[in-house]
Amino acid sequence: MCNDYRLEVDIASIMEDFDDLQIKIATPEGTPNVQPRADIQITDMAPIVRSLETARGAGELVNRRWSWPNPNGSPLFNFRTEEREFRSKRCLILTDGFYEFTKAKDPRQKRKDKWLFTLNSHRWFCIAGIWRSHPEVGEAFTMLTIEPGEDIAPYHSRQIVPLRRDQWADWLDPSIPAEELLKPLPGGSLTVTPILPPAPGPDQAALAL
């Protein structure tokens, strides 16, 4: 499951891109002061655009906590989509890349291998999410998950849902059935880059020959 993602694109550029798509974004709490981050992790505060549900092509940009507590106290940071319709409280989670982790190929490496997934032809993109109000933490969001597509299956048995630019307004519109959007993208839509261990540079590659 995705428990780490990235956002290094500035909010001003993100607002401009929404404007280009004619998606009206309100900032009821002021424009969030969001610093570029290579790692956004569970329980961190991060920007989302939540649906207004009364207007097509509109949303509110707010900072919210990633995950709310399960009844057992563990953080609910991913949420299965099967047999659910999500007719309210949808949100777009802003990102320019997300991570998956696999068992280390090198037995000498104590940490898992870390892989960065980015969406081709997108400087940044959105992940399909929902938000809820919780009595302990206030409003918080979680990422929706589905069966893995071709790009994710080699790395994990589930995946979150990256949304292309042409899907953002539809996800903010609760009249659009969730099942139309909560699908894997075609194979080859995502670029995968090794982060840990890093890919060998030219000098390292030459030494390995």
For the chain, what are the domain ranges? 4-99+118-186
pLDDT value, residue 83: 92
| Alpha-carbon torsion, ordered 194, 198, 200, 201, to 10 deg | 110
DSSP state of 196: E
The sign of the dihedral angle between the CA atoms of 131, 125, 103, 114 is negative
How many Å is the Cα radius of gyration of the chain? 18
End-to-end CA distance of the chain: 36
What is the rounded average pLDDT of the residues 67-96? 96
Of the pLDDT bands very low, low, confident and very high (cuts 50, 70, 90), residue 58 is very high
pLDDT value, residue 203: 53
Residue 37 has pLDDT above 60, yes or no: yes
Q: How many CB atoms lie within 10 A of CB 112?
A: 13
The sign of the dihedral angle between the CA atoms of 135, 181, 52, 85 is negative
pLDDT tens-place string over residues 151-208? 999 999 999 999 999 999 999 999 999 999 999 999 999 999 999 988 776 554 444 4
pLDDT tens-place string over residues 98-143? 999 999 988 888 889 999 999 999 999 999 999 999 999 999 999 9
Task: Output the pTM of the full model.
Answer: 0.93
The CATH class given to the 4-99+118-186 domain equals alpha beta
pLDDT tens-place string over residues 24-36? 999 999 999 899 9
